[in-house]
Amino acid sequence: MDATQVGQQITAGILIDQKSGQVIWQKQARQVLPVASLSKLLAVYTIYQTLNTRKISLQTAVVAPTIISGLENHSDLSTAKLTVGHSYTIEQLLQATLVASANDAVMVLGQYLYGSQERFVQIMLQNAQALHLKSVQLVNANGLPADIDPSVENNFHTQVSENQFCAQDLARLTQVLIEQFPQVLKVTQLKQINIDGRNLDNTNEMLPDAKYSPTKYQVDGLKTGTGDKAGYSTVITTVIQKRRVILVVLKAPSNEDRFLQARALLDYLAQNWVNKYKKLPTYPQNSWHSIWQPQHEGFNNLRLQYQLDLLKKPQRLDYSIWVHKQQLPILRTH
């Protein structure tokens, strides 16, 4: 199997090494698409930042406000069925957001931490800009289309009908989320949570013992997104050959296809690629780099190309890694 035989049933996607940022596989990775609840990853990143900065405990109780009223009128939406006026801990709300993709849970968190859904979105957009996620366009924090989200009726700043990302920016966001807040993986690997006596199942059907669980590696995250325009999408992370990798799959035609395509892509990596540490002649001293390459290719054809950035102060000498005549694509988090 080669790269042209995988990912055929999806519109766009990307597979990267989480730590190094090396792009292992990609398809239409810069195409901007509706992503539905995958945009909650930016919401969760923003929430974790705020909790950390303001030193807010996960056990802090939050009262569900009236802003979530109206979601119950749409039976097909993912919610935790939170009750207005009832209290929930921040930990419960984060779990519901990540595990069950609960729209009401992320809205309650946003209202508590930022005072309004519009302010929540503004902070999310500021974070997207800081992370150089240039494709991001937001309507709200939950990922719902504007016409069925009661929280955006008076949001005159909305420029699109629903949240949009490209696969590359979702991968970069996930890189940073895991790097800065690794505790997120303790939540995303939960198979089920309980709120108000109701069990909410994880929407990720590639977790261990789930329907599409792989056999040679264990998936421990991360998030799904589903919508009429977004199709069936997901961000998956796992460890292969002792390296954490991140896979973004956008707009598969069915729930089954998104997970089968994701599993096929990760199987392709596990069976056909190898990761090795190579010492490269970097300046001012040699350094070791973890590099993925197809098994049939040697590791003796790597070379460096240096670039001096004269516009930055202080001026910085940077380099890129080349294989044969092609630059090794790398997503950098800073």
Q: Per-residue pLDDT tens for 101-111?
A: 999 999 999 99
Q: How far apart are the first and last CA of the chain?
A: 34
Count Cβ atoms below 10 Å from residue 87 Cβ, excluding itself. Answer: 11
- In the chain the domains, ranked by start, together with CATH numbers, are 3-271 (3.40.710.10), 274-327 (no CATH)
Average the pLDDT over 1-19 and give the result.
87
Average the pLDDT over 40-57 and give the result.
98
Average the pLDDT over 272-293 and give the result.
86
Query: How high is the pLDDT of residue 4?
Result: 66
Query: How high is the pLDDT of residue 86?
Result: 97
Query: How high is the pLDDT of residue 315?
Result: 67
Per the annotation, the verdict on 135 as an active-site residue is no
Q: Choosing from 37, 39, 78, 151, which is the catalytic residue? A: 37
Average the pLDDT over 74-93 and give the result.
93
Q: Choosing from 27, 39, 40, 151, which is the catalytic residue? A: 40
Does residue 152 surpass a pLDDT of 80? no
Bind-site residues: 223
Q: Distance between CA 278 and CA 291 in Å, rounded?
A: 7
* Digit-coded pLDDT (tens) for 220-266: 999 999 999 999 999 999 999 999 999 999 999 999 999 999 999 99
Secondary structure E strands in the chain: 12-17, 23-27, 33-34, 61-63, 87-89, 164-165, 192-195, 198-201, 219-227, 231-240, 243-252, 273-280, 287-294, 302-309, 316-323, 326-327
**Per-chain mean pLDDT for the chain:** 91
Maximum distance among all Cα pairs of the chain, rounded to whole angstroms: 64
Bind-site residues for substrate: 223
Q: Distance between CA 241 and CA 146 in Å, rounded?
A: 42
1 or 93, which is more confident: 93
Q: Tokens in use for 281?
A: 């002649």
Does residue 316 surpass a pLDDT of 90? no
Per the annotation, the verdict on 40 as an active-site residue is yes
Q: Distance between CA 111 and CA 209 in Å, rounded?
A: 36
13 or 328, which is more confident: 13
Q: Give the DSSP letter string of 80-96.
A: --PPTT-EEEHHHHHHH
Average the pLDDT over 113-129 and give the result.
96
Task: Cis check for the bond before 281: say yes or no (omega within 30 of 0).
Answer: no
Q: What are phi and psi of 45, to 5 degrees?
A: -60, -45
> Which helix or strand (DSSP H or E) is residue 74 part of?
none
Between the alpha carbon of residue 289 and those of residues 60, 171, 178, 205, 331, the distances in Å are 42, 20, 20, 33, 14
Write the CB contacts of 186 (distance below 8 Å, at least 6 apart in sequence). Answer: none
Query: How high is the pLDDT of residue 300?
Result: 66
Residue holding tokens 């800073």? 334
282 — pLDDT class (breaks 50, 70, 90):
confident
Between the alpha carbon of residue 206 and those of residues 72, 120, 250, the distances in Å are 28, 31, 16
Q: Tokens in use for 197?
A: 């006596």
Which candidate, 263, 257, 217, places its Cα nearest to that of 240? 217
* Digit-coded pLDDT (tens) for 171-196: 999 999 999 999 999 999 999 999 99
Q: Choosing from 20, 101, 151, 233, which is the catalytic residue? A: 101
Q: Distance between CA 201 and CA 316 in Å, rounded?
A: 48
Q: Note every long-range contact of 278-283, with CB atoms under 8 Å and residues 24 or more positions apart, other chains counting.
A: 278/302, 280/304, 280/321, 282/319, 283/317, 283/319
148 — pLDDT class (breaks 50, 70, 90):
confident
Query: How high is the pLDDT of residue 1?
Result: 56
Q: Distance between CA 234 and CA 265 in Å, rounded?
A: 13
